[in-house]
Chain A
Amino acid sequence: MDTLERFLADHKFLEEMKPEFIEQIVGCASNVHFSSGDIICREGRDADKFYFIRDGKVALDIHMPQKGSISIMTLDSDSVLGWSWLFPPYRWQFNARAKTEVSAIAIEGACLRAKCINDHEFGYEILKRFSRILAERLQLTRLQLMDVYSANG
């Protein structure tokens, strides 16, 4: 088992996934590294990848004219970054910036989508796991929107 396969097999996102499915993902994967301050993805650009963060911290932010970047969430080791690769028009919906040195595994979106189309069972597994992340992030965002720490919260 090579390093990529071992890391992916141990990742929480892929917990209990069949080894042959992990192999399919490895076929679309590569190691990447970002320096602190690097822009990993930019809103509106092609979302051709997503990332398993191995180490480091990434900030998701949105740029507001005259206000600068508003950071809406930080992601740490073992997080998954990006789901825009999964849905047309395959464009990033936010910016992601490395806040520290970041090592990650990049997965080619088009490569994985093709495998999902060819093998619906595999595709369902991927979609199910991304749906869970989407639901978790939605819950966290709802809690953030409640502004519970305000004087009227």
Chain B
Amino acid sequence: MSNHNGNPMLPESFSVKRIKNETDDTFTVELQPSKKVLDLSFEAGQFNMLYIFGVGEIPISISGDPCSTDSLVHTTRVVGTVTKAMRKLHVGDLIGVRGPFGNPWPVEEAKGKDVVLIAGGIGLAPIRPVINYIISNRNKFENVVVLYGTRTPKDILYAKEIKFWEKKHRIQTFVTVDRAIGEWEGNVGVVTKLVARTPFDPKNAIAMACGPEVMMRFTVRELQKRGIANSSIYVSTERNMKCGIGHCGHCQFGAEFVCKDGPVFRYDKIAHLFDVWEV
């Protein structure tokens, strides 16, 4: 979607086409434009500013398929006032959308390489467009591996879809949970532990990680131990994005603005900021 109205600060009107609970505290909302003709194209990793009228506006990553853009798909967690209000929307309700904003994942650069995608918790949502893109262009990528960590088995996002990534699309997927009670037969432990056993060629691989910052810090260390260069590691950061165009300064991260220069950064460009306590 381009900022078609010429003003990136002016929201476009969309209506809720579908809304679906993913887990106890996450949901996916699918939006369609109120105007018939609107370019909804985006690049994997970008985000939109979603505005619940009378409540507020928040940044949410696009979690749909960049190769099929007839609607906008966002998955988020019910965590604050705006997402609580968003969860209460019904099909047909209106919502304001600005975007897409931000620097995307390097999917073109990943062609011809092994791809390691590492996600934690709700961090799988911004990674999902990369997976969808790879599925549509599977032969252009070498070995593709998804490592996904979450709290408990009932917190697994896109649980049904994940099963098909491996079965149908040759995307090896390893899921691990922090805690398991009962029938769970999969991995237990943090997602970083999976990196050591992941099949990829560090000399010809690209890694993309999204999740809580502390998880990404440990993930980067594990990737480095495997011999992957910092310039081949990409992370998606999160800050308090407001304007989306690098003007307001709310999301300043060192000398960078997360909304404009990120949210996806090549790790070697921001490595020095990862060790700073409060940026």
Contacts and interface: CB of A to CB of B under 8 A. Distances in A.
Nearest to A60: B188
A67 B181 contact: yes
Contacts of B86: none
A138 to B, nearest CB: 12
B150 interface: yes
B155 A149 contact: yes
Contacts of A149: 120-122, 149-151, 155, 178, 211-212, 215
Interface stretch (A13-21, A45-53, A121-129, A139-147): A139-147
Interface string B204-230: 000000011011001000000000000
A148 B189 contact: no
Interface of B: 25, 77, 79, 120-122, 149-151, 155, 176, 178-182, 184-190, 192-193, 197, 211-212, 214-215, 218
Contacts of B185: 99
Contacts of A78: 197
A68 B190 contact: no
B180 A70 contact: yes
Contacts, number: 67
Contacts of A148: 120-121, 211-212, 214-215
Enumerate the 3 nearest inter-chain pairs by beta-carbon distance, A residue then B residue, closest first: A149-B121, A148-B212, A71-B180
A72 B77 contact: no
Interface residues of A, number: 25
Given A143-B218, A149-B121, A69 B192 contact: no
Contacts of A71: 179-181, 184, 188
B77 A151 contact: yes
Contacts of A76: 197
A81 interface: no
Given A149-B120, A149-B121, A149-B151, A144 B190 contact: yes
Contact of B187 (A69, A74, A143, A146): A74
Interface in A72-94: 72-74, 76, 78
A153 interface: yes
A146 B216 CA distance: 13
26 contacts: A57-B187, A67-B181, A70-B179, A71-B179, A71-B181, A71-B184, A72-B179, A73-B188, A74-B189, A140-B190, A140-B193, A143-B218, A144-B189, A144-B190, A146-B214, A148-B120, A148-B212, A149-B122, A149-B149, A149-B150, A149-B178, A149-B211, A149-B212, A150-B151, A151-B25, A151-B79
Nearest to B155: A149
A104 interface: no
Contact of B190 (A57, A60, A143): A143
Contacts of A67: 181
Interface in A96-153: 99, 139-140, 143-144, 146-151, 153
A70 B122 CA distance: 23
Nearest to A145: B178
A96 B185 CA distance: 14
A54 to B, nearest CB: 14
Contacts of B120: 148-149
A29 interface: no
Nearest to B189: A73
A140 B215 CA distance: 11
A59 interface: yes
A143 B79 CA distance: 22
Contact of B212 (A59, A72, A99, A153): A153
